[in-house]
Structure 1
């Protein structure tokens, strides 16, 4: 990039937490009661309620850019000018008193232990993105310690500062103690730097140690931090699970520098892609704290397995322990198992042959055809879960249970069946399993290696099936003393509240100067269920005082107090256990939630606000075991169609047609259709007034940079790893984006939203883009030239949010913008979850709201009048352009960088628009316009517009 353009780039704000939302010092936090945000941050870090991720983020923007080695290799480098994310005042108290000299000296005495600990940390977190010298990580742009040059400093203390405070795209790592930080630093230095990159190896001597900050503490004792395993998810949790016995061999995971990665051989694996794990034993803590479980697979209407143990699962997943390219496995003893295939025979043919879509690797995905079997939903009742589904025209309720025979677990399935003609045969378990049956109207036989229950009665049937390990004897005689099968209908009308506590949090009002003020609407971080509260969607009811908020960890919350009580919110947990909810919509006062496995409609039958029935409104989702295929966002059009975006597989070719698509669901939920393809990681969907859509996408393979797409039905948007891509892999073979978004502007755009509020004055009717990657909000000025939409992004003058921003809605009653966000995968922001309100003041805004690329230059239109002298001076603008290269490689460097000369600047008659006349201007992938002006009132006005030009428009006569 040209030097002038680089010089004037906007800096990432320092002190993001303290400077962003600091209220007056005496305003207390709603949960901790702390006297200031600074103390609040310290408390939350101590409580480990703020979590940071290494996955998908360069562990060291330690980092990608080169730096010159210090003339004095052993001197303590000056990092005071480094643009850290956290200021020192934002760190927990113990960080102010660390004895860095003692920690480094101790490495000599504990070299072996330190190297083992450091290797463990690196292998379980860092390697995912950074890889090693043999295998490239999942993020090819991540820093390579064995060949790159450190940016902040290559000495241990400087690296420690980057780990602790975060820098650039690297978030602070407060889940690591000081000892653990120096352990992983020691491992990286001795394994990679000293041996492979010796020019970057910093030799430690007494002079260096003497210059380190003095302290007396080693920090907290290291402990394994697993907040995901401590959450009370309720008595069930939906996810993709692999069912294995306790002696299962290590799983296969393909890696390598060449993409797409090869498919593993999972032909014999028992995956429940839409697995409902149900806890069976009694006790507090929910499914994660259990000792016995059964798994229902609602794609196939099968009981996939039953197991016991001292732990639920291994938590290997991106939204649990942040591992990529993996799904969680069961741990413990697998007593009963059914291999992957239909749980019930076809109601007309009696065949168990699987008819579903077969992928390239031979596996089959998606639900059974509706006329065969259909999952209708779940009724949670106290500690029970009742599944509702159909087989043919027969209606079935089923629940799981646990008993004991001679201290051996006996698993039970209770079924209430209303036959409606046709064959009803259900696979129960493999032939060697101990099985017994009670109840009338059904029989137990053996068929092709399985024990099968056949429903022989034409009247309603209640049966109970008992299953135990093959070694259990005497089951048939023992079941005679068991209680008869229960009627389940009484559990379908709504039960007592499972989460009766209504939690209160205070609203911290924003008092920032300028055009915007931001209120912090903290979620209840200290909930009795230890929720992580990674908020991923929100929407309002007709009563605008109320909204629903979903969280990626499986919860839905009813939140009240937005308009009627501006100082306090109430939070009621109304649903739990869902599979990665990432979108929510209220339609006719009914709540719809986008989950990875289905769109759920929640029903409250007894008026306590909690969901008594989780209706599977649509479950056409084709779910595989791949970690990356998130189902993002939820919108509805005027006729009731629903829309969400489905991500593709990272670094791999698609297995199913839905990978990397925009999907429409019919108003009755019975039909899904793909309306656009070629996305890589589409984070949500925006409906446009003209019936088109906007879908963002993330930098990666076949995506040289982040992109904001104006989507038309039938369009292909560039990811050649998608399912059945077009033959033409050139740029001409795809639809062009509205704008390519440079990673320095936004490393991960999420959802866009049209401003619909008169209180937002000059921005009303404009388009906003939310940044998951950097926790920012952007304005998206655009134009249409010969049918092609093109434009740019402009950062709004707001402080960075403490989370990545996921979704936003305007409240029609108060006219304010409400945002929710999270930090889970690939965000630089430190806090797990957050809810915010942006209020626009009557202060001037001073941002460009219009952009037009014309044959003789670029026209920018601002919200307010500009100072004539500074606006007319060409020296106050710098324009740079560069190209990108789209390929199967991850991302793209800059090509053909140019600094364009401005021959003249014309100020429009309205005093708000400037025409930058640029001789020889041409279409370009990326243009960046920096400006340093003054407003009409004399205020300093600096900023940057980053845009894309596909076509040059005509010059107005």
Structure 2
């Protein structure tokens, strides 16, 4: 056998002084990411650290359960959006690549074939090198052949769990005495032979261990293939893949390499807890923003950029995930002293989180994951692949976003599209780009509810099953919409709909939001009761780009919904994206991060919007009438000011739904002009309830963006000047 040629990889070049933030972080025993190895990509890589010195690693391809590569001399170079904020790039191994395996199944099917059944497609990527290529990456394998189940952690040891042809497999990677990869494998009983692709002919592959009596290694078509015969009992054996011939270890030395204790929870990896203080908000208004201080200064340099949150029953504890792959649990939310505990690490870009009776469930780029603490020590021991049906590409913008549930227990999330470098171009569309998804409570059935989204960084499921999303301006998204989602709906980008026939009209959003109002949307959430003031039952909308919170007012005419929103006069520390109401105190908690295209100042923050009991003076209701608009406010109004038409300044404009990036503000009166039109208010009438103003608008008609600037006051003299941004889809 020949020795495999060593490929020396370019090491990361660091500036003098402190390492960049991403490079300081300890990611734990494993890390999920998309990884470039040579000219190939592993889109669902699970990188496993093999030594205490953090120098030697192996990467599994969780789509095919092949061992994709082994390298030594460093970790990764940090290319990519999650590390260095680089677009159109993926990280690469640093150091010396010892060996790698090409894209394809890591194990044979029941007939002994390694032929990849996934269709090839042309992957056109609008990257610096341009061009296109044929690939199969990003597509799940048939589950009856290969299915990743998850992985266990026992201290720093890792056991990967998967199934091959329905046969359960446990695999523990580790270093041999000589520093080679030792794959310790336990296979369940099976009536058929199984074959595992170990390496190209070149490395020395040696099987050993008590369970390897009948395991053979054969060179077949230039590959080293491990052959495992049918068996009535489970077998455990190991295979060493080495650059030089090694003497197989004895059964005594092998004993204990795989045992039950490794999959039943182990010693804590992060026993330290971190204490912070809740910082109360200040201000004279009815709402203040408290800061649940994050553990930014922590022993593992974990980067606190929050992508999801949820509360445990009772509301005293919450779980939050970070963009870099962590899950943290914070306790003490009923007081001012907070205790943070690191619960999980190494997840692939988790940007949504829900707590269920069966564990913490997360939306990750590679899968929907569910975490289990098997020994109740406050750390996840089993990272379960709850659902792996998602298709993905290597495109950086294809985030898997948010996670929430309906009353039936279904999960909902969304995925981003694949915009290229500026202009109207998009990179490859997979089956799931730009989709809004429903996942059954058991994780077995994934449905695409609607298509056409671009960057839906936040969704909402209302108390009556309402489905909503925000989006992000770009090609086919003229300004940020607040979308109503319905089954079979189309909400933006024609390329997001499979097939040759593309939509020529999109579903109307509830609201088109001008760029100075929201340039990049977050999630939606509904206030459950009056503990949070007068907004019980109302929808709220978060802006990641403007770090803002809005109250949403909706009207339904026939099967068309339209609405308006107005901003709370509050300041947040970061780009807020996720929100939950705490069942204990009834207050709104928000979290988010600073990636790009946000005015948020901090990398991440967790904050509480607390109602202090003072009167609220804001718009609460919006309705289009045949003669104009009715606006309802939270308090009785000063009649003289409310009925003075000079106190109402209205402007309107349309936007163009097209392949161009964004849209100008287009005059309604003269579409050839890029300008806002002044809207005349002929009459303002305060209704008998003292809170609702009817604005008479001659010639009222559908319009994308209607900006209402009141200059009125409540009956007790409190000024109301907050702008109201509305959309008119239909006039009754």
TM-score (norm 1): 0.70
Matches within 5 A, 1:575-724: 575-588=344-357, 590-651=359-420, 652-724=426-498
Instruction: Name the CA distance, whole Å, in 1 between partners of 2:468 and 2:187.
Output: 45
Instruction: Name the CA distance, whole Å, in 1 between partners of 2:711 and 2:518.
Output: 21
Q: 2:716 aligns with which of 937, 952, 955?
A: 937
Instruction: Name the CA distance, whole Å, in 1 between partners of 2:41 and 2:428.
Output: 18
User: 1:411: how far off?
Assistant: 1.6
Q: Is 2:220 the counterpart of 1:447?
A: yes
Residue in 2 aligned with 1:23?
Answer: none
Instruction: Name the CA distance, whole Å, in 1 between partners of 2:400 and 2:115.
Output: 29
SS in 2 for 1:330: coil
Contact residue 456 and residue 521 of structure 2 kept, 8 A = no
Contact residue 605 and residue 612 of structure 1 kept, 8 A = yes
Instruction: Name the CA distance, whole Å, in 1 between partners of 2:306 and 2:262.
Output: 30
Residue in 2 aligned with 1:814?
Answer: 585
Q: 1:698 to 1:882 in 2, by over 3 A?
A: same
User: 1:478: how far off?
Assistant: 6.3
Q: 1:744 to 1:224 in 2, by over 3 A?
A: farther
Q: 2:681 aligns with which of 866, 889, 902?
A: 902
Contact residue 416 and residue 488 of structure 1 kept, 8 A = no
Matches within 5 A, 1:150-161: none
Q: Is 2:101 the counterpart of 1:307?
A: no
Residue in 1 aligned with 2:189?
Answer: 419
Q: 1:340 aligns with which of 103, 124, 127?
A: 103
Structure ranking higher in strand proportion = 2
Instruction: Name the CA distance, whole Å, in 2 between partners of 1:514 and 1:357.
Output: 59
SS in 2 for 1:491: helix
Residue in 2 aligned with 1:397?
Answer: 170
Residue in 2 aligned with 1:383?
Answer: 156
SS in 1 for 2:723: strand
Contact residue 360 and residue 655 of structure 1 kept, 8 A = no
Q: Is 2:653 the counterpart of 1:882?
A: yes
Q: 1:825 to 1:915 in 2, by over 3 A?
A: same
SS in 2 for 1:943: coil
Deviations 1:536-557 (A, max 9, x none): 1111112221121111111111
Residue in 2 aligned with 1:775?
Answer: 547
Q: 1:225 to 1:916 in 2, by over 3 A?
A: farther
Structure ranking higher in helix proportion = 1
Instruction: Name the CA distance, whole Å, in 2 between partners of 1:607 and 1:356.
Output: 40
Matches within 5 A, 1:240-639: 240-244=34-38, 269-283=39-53, 290-309=54-73, 311-347=74-110, 349-361=111-123, 362-364=134-136, 365-403=138-176, 405=178, 409-439=179-209, 440=212, 441-458=214-231, 459-469=233-243, 472=244, 474-475=245-246, 477=247, 483-484=253-254, 486-563=257-334, 566-588=335-357, 590-639=359-408
Instruction: Name the CA distance, whole Å, in 2 between partners of 1:673 and 1:353.
Output: 28
Deviations 1:684-715 (A, max 9, x none): 32112333410111101111111111100110
User: 1:225: how far off?
Assistant: 5.4
Instruction: Name the CA distance, whole Å, in 1 between partners of 2:717 and 2:599.
Output: 35
Contact residue 678 and residue 725 of structure 1 kept, 8 A = no
Matches within 5 A, 1:198-237: 226-237=20-31
Instruction: Name the CA distance, whole Å, in 2 between partners of 1:892 and 1:791.
Output: 21
Q: 1:488 to 1:304 in 2, by over 3 A?
A: farther
Q: 1:928 aligns with which of 685, 691, 707?
A: 707
Q: 1:482 to 1:229 in 2, by over 3 A?
A: farther
Contact residue 336 and residue 467 of structure 1 kept, 8 A = no
Q: Is 2:507 the counterpart of 1:735?
A: yes
Instruction: Name the CA distance, whole Å, in 1 between partners of 2:464 and 2:488.
Output: 16
Contact residue 319 and residue 327 of structure 2 kept, 8 A = yes
Contact residue 757 and residue 816 of structure 1 kept, 8 A = no
After the TM superposition, list the runs of 4 or more consecutive aligned residues in structure 1 that deviate by more than 4 angstroms.
221-225, 478-482
Residue in 2 aligned with 1:141?
Answer: none
Deviations 1:569-607 (A, max 9, x none): 111111111011111111226211111111111111211
SS in 1 for 2:721: strand
User: 1:826: how far off?
Assistant: 2.3
Residue in 1 aligned with 2:520?
Answer: 748
Instruction: Name the CA distance, whole Å, in 1 between partners of 2:317 and 2:439.
Output: 26
Q: 2:607 aligns with which of 817, 822, 836?
A: 836
Matches within 5 A, 1:35-114: none
SS in 2 for 1:763: coil
Count of paired positions: 691
Instruction: Name the CA distance, whole Å, in 1 between partners of 2:531 and 2:248.
Output: 71
- After superposition, the CA RMSD in angstroms is 1.9
Q: 1:690 to 1:396 in 2, by over 3 A?
A: same
Matches within 5 A, 1:760-771: 760-771=532-543
User: 1:479: how far off?
Assistant: 5.3
Q: 1:909 to 1:726 in 2, by over 3 A?
A: farther
Instruction: Name the CA distance, whole Å, in 1 between partners of 2:88 and 2:696.
Output: 50
Q: 1:425 to 1:380 in 2, by over 3 A?
A: same
Residue in 1 aligned with 2:564?
Answer: 792
Instruction: Name the CA distance, whole Å, in 2 between partners of 1:851 and 1:920.
Output: 18
Deviations 1:458-516 (A, max 9, x none): 032211111123xx3x33x4656993262243201110100001111101112321110
User: 1:759: how far off?
Assistant: 1.2
Instruction: Name the CA distance, whole Å, in 2 between partners of 1:423 and 1:675.
Output: 41
Consecutive unaligned residues of structure 2, counting only runs of 5 or more, are: 1-11, 124-133, 421-425, 668-675
Instruction: Name the CA distance, whole Å, in 1 between partners of 2:429 and 2:216.
Output: 39
Contact residue 654 and residue 721 of structure 1 kept, 8 A = no
Q: 1:225 to 1:890 in 2, by over 3 A?
A: farther
Consecutive unaligned residues of structure 1, counting only runs of 5 or more, are: 1-123, 125-174, 176-220, 245-268, 284-289
Contact residue 810 and residue 817 of structure 1 kept, 8 A = yes
Instruction: Name the CA distance, whole Å, in 2 between partners of 1:674 and 1:700.
Output: 22
Contact residue 206 and residue 248 of structure 2 kept, 8 A = no
User: 1:908: how far off?
Assistant: 1.1
Q: Which 10-residue stretch deviates more, 478-487 or 540-549? A: 478-487
Deviations 1:133-156 (A, max 9, x none): xxxxxxxxxxxxxxxxxxxxxxxx
Instruction: Name the CA distance, whole Å, in 1 between partners of 2:491 and 2:463.
Output: 21
TM-score (norm 2): 0.91
SS in 1 for 2:705: strand
SS in 2 for 1:865: coil
Residue in 2 aligned with 1:16?
Answer: none
User: 1:393: how far off?
Assistant: 2.4
SS in 1 for 2:26: coil
Instruction: Name the CA distance, whole Å, in 1 between partners of 2:473 and 2:498.
Output: 21
Instruction: Name the CA distance, whole Å, in 2 between partners of 1:688 and 1:727.
Output: 32
Instruction: Name the CA distance, whole Å, in 1 between partners of 2:720 and 2:704.
Output: 26
Deviations 1:844-872 (A, max 9, x none): 21111111122211111111111111111
